[in-house]
Amino acid sequence: MANGPAISIRGLRTAFGTKVIHDALDLDVRRGEVLAIVGGSGSGKSVLLREIIGLIEPVEGEIQLFGRNQRRMSPHDQRQQRLRIGVLFQDGALFSSLTVSQNIQVPIRNSLKLPDHLLEEIAGVKLALAGLPPDAGPKYPGELSGGMRKRAGLARALALDPELLFLDEPTAGLDPVGAHDFDMLIRSLQRSLGLTVVMITHDMDSLAAISDRIAALVDKRAIVDTMENLRAMSHPWLQAYFDGPRGRAAARSHEKESN
Rg (CA), the chain: 19
pLDDT in tens, 237-256: 999 998 865 655 555 555 55
| Chain mean position to CA 186 | 10
Given a cut of 50, whether residue 142 has pLDDT beyond it is yes
pLDDT in tens, 45-62: 999 999 999 889 999 999
Task: Report the percent of the chain where pLDDT is more than 70.
Answer: 92
**Listed range (113-122, 184-193, 219-228, 250-259) with the worst mean pLDDT:** 250-259
pLDDT at res. 154: 96
| Chain mean position to CA 26 | 18
Which pTM does this prediction carry? 0.91
Given a cut of 70, whether residue 9 has pLDDT beyond it is yes
pLDDT in tens, 110-122: 988 899 999 999 9
